[in-house]
Amino acid sequence: MAVAKRENDVNIESKKYNITNSLVMWIILLSFTDALFTDVGLRLNFIAEWNPFARFLYELNVGIFYLYKLLLPIVLYILYQYVYGNRLIDIAIYACFGLYAVINLYHLYWLGIVVFV
């Protein structure tokens, strides 16, 4: 009975790891789309970059801006492989995913205004 419970616990932990790991991959994708939508909005003079550091990088070189936007989530993905199972880290990943989802919805909103108005 104890062995079955341990195996079940391992399966649950494995599923949690896979879900959170997938969320980190989604964060990388959402970070890229955030950079892409921001780039389009800036080129169309429809939005302004609110983050002063990101604005500086964008003005310096658009490629560096994209690298900056992708580098942090990729580092998060690499680090997560070593610290998975930490509840605080998992909560931060869920929050980050939610934030990027909202940011991308905002981008889609103004993009819809630009395209359809």
- Say if CB 57 and CB 65 are below 8 A apart: yes
Domain that holds residue 45: 15-116
Instruction: For residue range 20-73, list pLDDT tens digits in order.
Output: 888 999 999 999 999 999 999 999 898 999 999 999 999 999 999 999 999 989
Kindly state whether residue 60 falls inside one of the protein's structural domains: yes
Q: Is residue 4 part of a domain?
A: no
Give domain status of residue 9, yes or no. no
Helix axes 2-43, 87-116, angle to 10 degrees: 30
- The answer as to whether 37 is a domain residue is yes
Residue 102 counted as domain residue: yes
Residues with Cβ < 8 Å from 76, sequence gap 6 or more?
Answer: 24, 27, 93, 96
6 domain-assigned: no
- Please count the structural domains in the chain: 1
pLDDT at 81: 83
Tell whether 25 is covered by a domain.
Answer: yes
